[in-house]
Every structure is written in C-alpha cells, then in structure tokens.
C-alpha cells in the first residue's frame, strides 16, 4: 500500500529539470522520485553489507572486485 509520508521542497532548477524529464519520458514525477530513492537505498544497503563483509573477504585474499569476480566465476 502506498502512503504519502512527506512534502518535498526542491530548488527551482531541480524542479524545472524534474518536470522536463517527466514530460520527455512520459513518467510521473512521483515515479521518478520513488525510483531514485529506491536506487539510493539499494546503494546504501550494498555499501553497508560490503563494509561488514570486507574483513572476511580480505582474510580470504579477496582484495579487489576483480578478485571476487574471479573467485565466483
């Protein structure tokens, strides 16, 4: 269920750009904002998990992303 939880104040230029993108893409502004928030939250979660698992990965000799990709390939 969707719920309105806050009012968002945007600087004029951001609002103008958002309206332009909404019109060009034929996507409601609310949907653009929801998708942007979902991506932001996903990135934050990923970084948090990465930070927690980093010591374990390093102990296994996995230092870079390439090391990880090679190990799971």
pLDDT at residue 72 in the model: 86
**Residue pLDDT tens, the chain, 73 long:** 778 778 889 999 999 999 999 999 999 999 999 999 999 999 999 999 988 988 888 888 888 888 888 888 8
Domain ranges of the chain: 12-72
Encode pLDDT of 35-53 as tens digits.
999 999 999 999 999 889 8
pLDDT at residue 63 in the model: 85
pLDDT at residue 23 in the model: 98
Residues whose CB is less than 8 angstroms from the CB of residue 18 and which lie 6 or more positions away in sequence, other chains included: 10, 29, 32, 33
């Amino acid at each position: 269920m969707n719920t309105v939880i806050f009012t968002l104040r945007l600087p004029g230029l951001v609002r103008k750009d958002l309206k332009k993108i909404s019109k060009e893409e034929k996507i409601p502004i609310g949907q653009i904002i929801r998708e942007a928030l979902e991506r932001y939250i996903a990135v934050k979660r990923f970084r948090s998990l990465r930070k927690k698992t980093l010591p374990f990965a390093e102990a296994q000799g996995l230092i870079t992303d390439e090391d990880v990709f090679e190990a799971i390939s």
